[in-house]
Amino acid sequence: MKYLITLLVILVSLLTTAQELNEKMHELIKAERRSAHKRMQFKASQNTDNYDIKYLRLEWTVDPASDPASISGKVTTYWEVVAPMNTITFDLADNMNVSQVMQRGDNLAYTHNGDELIVTLPAIQGTGVLDSMTITYRGEPVSTGFVSFVQETHNGIPVMWTLSEPYGAMDWWPCKQDLTDKADSIDIFVTHPQFYDTQEYKTASNGVLVSETVNGSAKTTHWKHGYPIPAYLIAIAVTNYSVYHEYAYEGTDSEFPIINYVYPENLSDAQNKTPITSYIMEIFGELFEMYPYADEKYGHAELNWGGGMEHTTMSFVESFDRFLIAHELAHQWFGDKITCGSWEDIWLNEGFATYLEALTTEHIDGNDAFIAWRINTVFDITAESAGSVRCTNTTDVSRIFDWRLSYQKGAMVLHMLRYKLGDDDFFAAIKNYLSDPKLAFGYARTIDLQSHFEAQSGIELDDFLADWYMGEGYPSYWLQWSQDGDDAYFLINQSQSHSSVSFFEMPLPIRVNGSDGQSQWLRLENTENGQVFVENVSFPIISVEFDPEYELISRNNTITTGVKEIRIEHLSIYPNPSDDIISIEVENTNDAMIEIYSFNGKLVLNKEVHSKVERINLSGLSEGVYVVMVKQSDTVYVGKVAVR
Ligand SMILES: [Zn+2]
């Protein structure tokens, strides 16, 4: 999913000052929260865990012109019993009215209790039993979350569409909404008036178009989807669509259709913009794997809502902006084929979709544009000092879809993994993830992605994910450098914007430049504060750049030089560890300063040096390891002391 706030931020940021941008952002976020408010306290029902959905036959009757907006339907659910049960529970908003629950010609008793429909089965069903029933209902759905069930107009013509992510399916049909169970396949039948005035309605939905049947003044469209699908990715849209076909892998054995349902008034605009879809499809196919639903179709259906939603095989979009096309297409692999196993892991959907937008930039616009994307993204992420990629409140729709954290930071964390592991292992691991039979067409948690990155690279990622998925904030680096012949010295200290991370262990990209246009990349494996690196650089360095291409999330970095030599062994500190007075031996007291830094890079003590053995009282410091530096104009001596 990608919503208006994203697009507006880009537009707004081009047009206004940072101050105005902040104010506009706040208005937008407030508006988003208001719309999300109704279902902010949603908790997935625990009472649907005892069955596994096998198949859904969804028969809906709608009229885009009806006032108020309404739906009537028959939902037939086939299930397999997971734990013995004598009732079966569905999620259904309390304002929807069930008129009948039928099984093999018999009416079943039911209660509609709050947002749960509980049907009493004729007998207890044991594990493994296969059964089905049909629920008949009607109602005037009240949209929650983003916009779960909508009727509006475009160019004076009525249009209706659904958009259920994350908790809105139950607003308009009896379903199992929890992220634990996909229906293995579905049939969708949508009946509506054939015409509005002289305009003929068409229905867009998931899967393959089987038939469009006219019966008197009504028209029924049958779509069939043969892949596992969760409730929130099932959707319908009805209006006087103009429909046109494009093809991916056109003229090859892999060819399949891309079907566009667009408003007639926007037809030529759409036809100008959608052809990029097949090109992006092939980029993703090359980087990852073939589009997962190639034997059905891909498609777009236009809607009014500001943004897009990756309904399986038929993304709903408000425009044909290239980034939106790329984002929703990316979700067909990341979100639809493999769905986040909890809304806590929403970055497995949104971080990937956002990163794949950026990969589209890398492949179509080139590396400089890709770097520009990273600069903007890091700038946005670090505009605030806190916040984790992990969604910490899954009942809050605006937190699940937090643009800065679930989308931008999620995408940059993927990019940092790419830098850390290298392109070969990074892309190979993602291919393995997508094709893992335990995950494909099912659900994944963050640990599943981690396992694939670790198995492919041999690199343990617990610390990385503790810092960058669970942890909040970002590092700020202080890099000091000097050169002596071919030896370049780097002293690196780091502080953190948030106390949840004590140290970000990262490889650091450093570029050193010489006066004759030479330049050399270094990769310094930074694992602790006060770390010193000696690197071979054969030309005189005139400048040093810290992560100039924004491979990492960081901000407020400082680079200083003028240090002739950095020695780590020379500084003698005793007793060590200590709990009060330490002595520091200083060879040359001339203009020397002692500075002591906590392990997270904060200066905790500094004083001038007056004697060759300086005594310092550390009893006021909390337990931990501290970095001690003795600085002169051309030399820095470094050591560590442990305080008990
Ligand atoms: Zn998205």
Evaluate if residue 271 carries a pLDDT over 70: yes
Q: In what order do the strands lie in the sheet with 208-215?
A: 106-107, 97-103, 130-139, 71-81, 51-62, 185-193, 218-225, 208-215
Q: How far is the CA of 308 from the centre of ligand 1 (A)?
A: 8
Q: How far is the CA of 323 from the centre of ligand 1 (A)?
A: 11
Locate 458 and state its tokens: 């041999």
Cα 210 to Cα 93, 301, 313: the distances in Å are: 30, 17, 15
Q: How far is the CA of 309 from the centre of ligand 1 (A)?
A: 7
Q: How far is the CA of 354 from the centre of ligand 1 (A)?
A: 7
Q: How far is the CA of 348 from the centre of ligand 1 (A)?
A: 10
Q: What is the model's pLDDT at position 187?
A: 98
3-state SS track over 75-103: EEEEEEECCCEEEEEEECCCCCEEEEEEE
Q: How far is the CA of 447 from the centre of ligand 1 (A)?
A: 21
The structure tokens 């809502």 sit at: 305
pLDDT 10s digits, 474-486 = 999 999 898 888 8
Amino acid type, 63 = D
Q: What is the model's pLDDT at position 570?
A: 66
Evaluate if residue 327 carries a pLDDT over 50: yes
- Give the residue with greater pLDDT, 623 vs 241: 241
- Name the helix (H) or strand (E) containing 284: helix 276-287
Provide the pairing of β-strand 242-248 with 106-107. unpaired
Q: How far is the CA of 18 from the centre of ligand 1 (A)?
A: 25
Q: How far is the CA of 405 from the centre of ligand 1 (A)?
A: 13
Q: How far is the CA of 335 from the centre of ligand 1 (A)?
A: 8
Architecture of domain 568-643: Sandwich (2.60)
Q: 259-274 as b/e, with b when 16 or more CB fall inside 10 Å?
A: bbbbbeebbeebeebb
Q: Strand, helix or coil at 110?
A: strand
pLDDT 10s digits, 285-301 = 999 999 999 999 999 99
Q: What is the model's pLDDT at position 13?
A: 41
| Pairwise CA distance, residues 163 & 62, whole Å | 15
Q: How far is the CA of 263 from the centre of ligand 1 (A)?
A: 23
| Pairwise CA distance, residues 388 & 125, whole Å | 43
Dihedral sign (CA 599, 388, 11, 283): positive
Evaluate if residue 10 carries a pLDDT over 50: no
| Pairwise CA distance, residues 531 & 508, whole Å | 12
Q: Please report which confidence band the pLDDT of residue 508 belongs to, taking 50, 70 and 90 as the band edges.
A: very high
Domain 475-564 homologous superfamily, CATH: Aminopeptidase N, middle-beta domain (2.60.40.1840)
By the 8 A CB rule, do 592 and 607 touch?
no
Least confident of 30-39, 65-74, 560-569: 30-39
| Pairwise CA distance, residues 632 & 533, whole Å | 19
Q: How far is the CA of 194 from the centre of ligand 1 (A)?
A: 33
- Say whether pTM exceeds 0.95: no
Q: Strand, helix or coil at 489?
A: strand
- How does the average pLDDT of the chain come out, rounded? 91
Q: Please report which confidence band the pLDDT of residue 599 belongs to, taking 50, 70 and 90 as the band edges.
A: low
Name the residue among 411, 391, 590, 382 with its Cα closest to residue 477.
382
Q: How far is the CA of 57 from the centre of ligand 1 (A)?
A: 27
Least confident of 86-95, 452-461, 465-474, 635-644: 635-644
- Give the residue with greater pLDDT, 622 vs 161: 161
Q: How far is the CA of 258 from the centre of ligand 1 (A)?
A: 19
Q: How far is the CA of 330 from the centre of ligand 1 (A)?
A: 8
Name the residue among 341, 416, 479, 327 with its Cα closest to residue 6.
327
Q: How far is the CA of 540 from the centre of ligand 1 (A)?
A: 48
Q: What's the mean pLDDT in 408-428?
A: 98
By the 8 A CB rule, do 392 and 399 touch?
yes
Q: What is the model's pLDDT at position 282?
A: 98
Q: What is the model's pLDDT at position 39?
A: 44
- Name the helix (H) or strand (E) containing 162: strand 157-162
Q: How far is the CA of 379 from the centre of ligand 1 (A)?
A: 20
By the 8 A CB rule, do 552 and 509 touch?
yes
Q: At what angle do helices 410-421 and 423-435 cross, to 10 degrees?
A: 120
Assigned CATH class of 340-470: mainly alpha
Which residues have a Cβ under 8 Å from the Cβ of 372 and sit 6 or more positions away?
Answer: none
Q: Tell me the Cα Rg of the chain.
A: 30
Rounded to whole angstroms, the maximal C-alpha distance in the chain is 103
- Name the helix (H) or strand (E) containing 151: strand 149-154
Name the residue among 368, 378, 365, 358 with its Cα closest to residue 546.
378
Let me know how long the chain is.
644
Name the residue among 644, 4, 92, 583 with its Cα closest to residue 318.
4
Q: What is the model's pLDDT at position 531?
A: 85
Q: How far is the CA of 424 from the centre of ligand 1 (A)?
A: 26
Q: How far is the CA of 77 from the centre of ligand 1 (A)?
A: 28
| Pairwise CA distance, residues 3 & 309, whole Å | 8
Q: How far is the CA of 463 from the centre of ligand 1 (A)?
A: 27
Q: Please report which confidence band the pLDDT of residue 92 belongs to, taking 50, 70 and 90 as the band edges.
A: very high
By the 8 A CB rule, do 338 and 434 touch?
yes
pLDDT 10s digits, 129-188 = 999 999 999 999 998 877 899 999 999 999 999 999 999 999 999 999 988 899 999 999
Q: What is the model's pLDDT at position 636?
A: 77
CATH number of 44-238: 2.60.40.1730
| Pairwise CA distance, residues 143 & 325, whole Å | 25
Q: How far is the CA of 601 from the centre of ligand 1 (A)?
A: 37
Evaluate if residue 269 carries a pLDDT over 60: yes
pLDDT 10s digits, 525-575 = 999 888 888 889 999 999 999 999 999 999 999 998 766 666 655 678 999
Q: How far is the CA of 163 from the centre of ligand 1 (A)?
A: 13
For 241-337, CATH number out of 1.10.390.10, 3.30.420.40, 3.30.365.10, 2.40.50.140 equals 1.10.390.10
- Give the residue with greater pLDDT, 602 vs 215: 215
By the 8 A CB rule, do 518 and 539 touch?
yes
Which residues have a Cβ under 8 Å from the Cβ of 551 and sit 6 or more positions away?
Answer: 374, 415, 416, 419, 509
**What are the strands, taking DSSP E only, across 421-515?**
443-444, 475-484, 487-496, 506-514
Q: How far is the CA of 353 from the centre of ligand 1 (A)?
A: 6
Evaluate if residue 41 carries a pLDDT over 50: no
Share of the chain above pLDDT 70, in %: 91
pLDDT 10s digits, 96-125 = 999 999 999 999 999 999 999 999 999 999
Name the residue among 68, 64, 133 with its Cα closest to residue 95.
68
Q: How far is the CA of 507 from the centre of ligand 1 (A)?
A: 29
Q: What is the model's pLDDT at position 405?
A: 98
| Pairwise CA distance, residues 115 & 94, whole Å | 5
How many CB atoms within 10 Å of residue 585?
A: 16
Q: How far is the CA of 327 from the centre of ligand 1 (A)?
A: 6
By the 8 A CB rule, do 98 and 174 touch?
yes
| Pairwise CA distance, residues 483 & 543, whole Å | 11
Q: How far is the CA of 347 from the centre of ligand 1 (A)?
A: 9
Dihedral sign (CA 313, 314, 315, 321): positive
Name the residue among 158, 169, 110, 167 with its Cα closest to residue 134.
110
Q: What is the model's pLDDT at position 30?
A: 39
Q: How far is the CA of 553 from the centre of ligand 1 (A)?
A: 21
Q: How far is the CA of 514 from the centre of ligand 1 (A)?
A: 44
Q: Please report which confidence band the pLDDT of residue 601 belongs to, taking 50, 70 and 90 as the band edges.
A: low
